[in-house]
């Protein structure tokens, strides 16, 4: 069954790697510059969502263009923006760079001086409030007051979300999804990925050392 023309095409890491090895694609990374600097797929083109403009998106007739981000949510959103501007055959990497690495494919990692390597852990999943501000409110010129009124919550609640003081729950995810035309779980999934990454850095190693998998007992 063919994919409808108004749908962002999903491609898994194995398929994208095969295209990549045959030099059939241009990979477009829609994460932010700080994320790209920390780690990226070699040869990928950086077009951050915070400044993503479908009207000036490059057209390369001889190659497929594949969008990717950290986990596949932002790249799918960018794909929908391209579809709205009339682009056809928009493709994004399912699972993002996380899926690419999980499949064992290489990335380029920023090499830091020895005195900076142990300073701070590298975080690749920013809080959803940061993504909301950088990739939606700022580019679309929507104020905190406007958003609060449009999704019918308090200005203080939106402000606290953007500052990272409160998490996104399922109800707020539904409100944001309705307003920005995203998947219903898009925003709460960003929160889950952020929380999971924070937990892994905070207690992941302790859990690994103290808990033995049932299959290994």
Range 77-111 burial, b when 16+ CB lie within 10 A, else e: bbbbbbbeeeeeebbbbbbbbbbbeeeebeeeeee
One DSSP character per residue, 168-208 reads: --HHHHHHHHHHHT--TTHHHHHHHHHHHHHHIIIIIHHHH
Quick check: is 125 catalytic? no
Q: Which residue has the tokens 């699972």?
A: 95
Instruction: Look up residue 37 and give its two tokens.
Output: 């600097």
Residues paired with 10 in a beta bridge: 92
CA angle 89, 54, 94 (to 5 degrees): 50
Give dist(CA 137, CA 81) in Å, integer: 15
Report yes or no: 100 and 13 within 8 Å, Cβ to Cβ: yes
Give dist(CA 79, CA 6) in Å, integer: 10
Please report the beta strands in 43-188, taking only residues with DSSP state E, as ranges in sequence order. Answer: 45-46, 64-68, 91-93, 108-109
* Half-sphere CA count of 37, side-chain side, radius 13 A: 5
Catalytic residue among 25, 26, 49, 69: 69
Q: Which residues are catalytic?
A: 69
């Amino acid at each position: 069954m063919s994919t409808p023309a108004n749908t962002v095409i999903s491609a898994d890491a194995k398929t994208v790697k095969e295209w990549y090895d045959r030099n059939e694609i241009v990979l477009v990374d829609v994460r932010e510059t700080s994320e790209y600097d920390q780690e990226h797929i070699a040869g990928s083109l950086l077009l951050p969502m915070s400044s993503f403009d479908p009207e000036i998106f490059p057209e390369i007739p001889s190659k497929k263009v594949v969008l990717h981000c950290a986990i596949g949510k932002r790249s799918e959103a960018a794909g929908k923006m391209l579809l709205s501007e009339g682009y056809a055959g928009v493709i994004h990497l399912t699972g993002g760079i996380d899926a690419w690495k999980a499949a064992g494919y290489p990335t380029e990692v920023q090499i830091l001086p020895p005195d900076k390597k142990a300073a701070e852990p590298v975080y690749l999943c920013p809080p959803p409030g940061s993504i909301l501000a950088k990739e939606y409110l700022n580019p679309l010129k929507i104020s905190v007051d406007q958003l609060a009124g449009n999704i019918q919550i308090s200005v203080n609640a939106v402000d606290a979300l953007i500052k990272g003081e409160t998490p996104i729950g399922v109800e707020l995810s539904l409100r944001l999804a309705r307003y920005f035309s995203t998947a219903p779980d898009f925003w709460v999934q960003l929160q889950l990925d952020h929380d999971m990454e924070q937990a892994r850095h905070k207690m992941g190693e302790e859990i690994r050392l103290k808990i033995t998998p049932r299959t290994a007992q």
